[in-house]
Structure 1
C-alpha cells in the first residue's frame, strides 16, 4: 500500500532507514544525509508492507511546470516486486493533480555502473524518456543522465 506521509520526523526516519540500507547507490555520507534532511520538506510517499515501510519516493518542484523525482529507494528484499513502479505511479498522479506537466529524474548515465544500469532500465520501464546527459554536473566519474516524461 502506498501512503502519503506528512510528518517531517517520520519522513526523515523512513528515508534514513531505507537509504542507509542501499549504500551501493547512496554511498556518499554527505549526499545521503542531504537526501534525508531534504525529505522532510518534500512531497513524500511511502510503501507499506506488513506494517513496515519498505520504500519511499520524494518529489520536488524544479520549475512551475516540472517536478523532479528527487530520491527514491526500496529495501533490497522488495526489489523487482512492483513497489518502485507503484511509488512512481502514485507520484505521477499527485504531480498531475498538483498541476505539473512534466516529471524528471536524474541518475548516472547508462553504461557506467551496473547497479545504475538497472536503475536506468527501471526509469525507462516506468515511461521516462532520455532527455540529456550532463557529463560534469556531479563529477567525471558520474555523468548525469536526465530522463523526463509528460504527465
Structure 2
C-alpha cells in the first residue's frame, strides 16, 4: 500500500528509518540529515507492508511548473520488487493532478559508480531523459546528472 504522509514527525521517522538503512547512497551523515529535514516540507509518499514503511519518495516544487524527486529510498530487502515504480507512478499522478508539467531528478552521472549506474538505469526505465550534467555541483568526484520528464 502507498499513501501520502502529511504529519512532519511521521515523515522524519520514515525517512530516517529508510535512509539509515541505505548507507551506500546516504552514508554521509550531514547530507542524510538534510534530506530528512527537507522531507518535512515536501510532498511525501510512503510504501508500506504490514503497516510498516518499507520505502518513500519526496517531491519538491522547484518552479511554477516543475517538481523534483528530491529523495527516494526503499529498504534493501525490498529492492527490485517494483515498489520504486509504484511510488513513482503515484507521485507522477499526484504531480499531474497538482498541475505540474515537468519532473526532474538528480543523481550521480552514469559511469562513476556501479551502484549509481543502477540508479540511472532505474530513472531511465521510468521515462526520464538526460538533460544536463553539472560536473562540480556536488563535487568533482560526484558529477550531477539531471534527468527530466514531461508529465503531459
TM bucket (normalised to shorter chain) is: over 0.9
Deviation at 1:7, TM superposition (A): 0.4
Q: Distance in 2 between matches of 1:98 and 1:51?
A: 27
Aligned residues: 151
Matched, 1:4 2:4: yes
State the match for 1:76 in structure 2: 76
Q: TM-score, normalised by structure 2?
A: 0.98
Return 5+ residue gaps in structure 2 as ranges.
none
CA distance in 1, matches of 2:137, 2:39: 22
For residue 135 of structure 2, what is the aligned residue in structure 1? 135
Measure how far apart 1:34 and its partner are: 0.3
Give the aligned partner of residue 49 of structure 2. 49
SS of the counterpart of 2:24?
Answer: coil
CA distance in 2, matches of 1:2, 1:111: 32
Q: Corresponding residue for 1:117? A: 117
1:50 Cα deviation (Å)?
1.7
Aligned twin of 2:96: 96
Residue aligning to 1:86: 86
Per-residue CA distance 1:96-130 (angstroms, 9 max, x = gap): 00000000000000000011000000000011010
Question: How far 1:70 moved relative to its partner?
Answer: 0.2
Shift of 1:52: 1.0
Tell me if 1:13 matches 2:5: no
Q: What are the superposed Cα offsets for residues 56-87 of structure 1, whole Å, 9 maximum, x if unpaired?
A: 00000111010000000000000000000001
- Taking only aligned residues, the RMSD between alpha carbons, in angstroms, comes to 0.5
SS of corresponding position for 1:24: helix
Once residues 120 and 83 of structure 1 are traced to their aligned partners in structure 2, the CA distance between those partners, rounded to angstroms, is 16
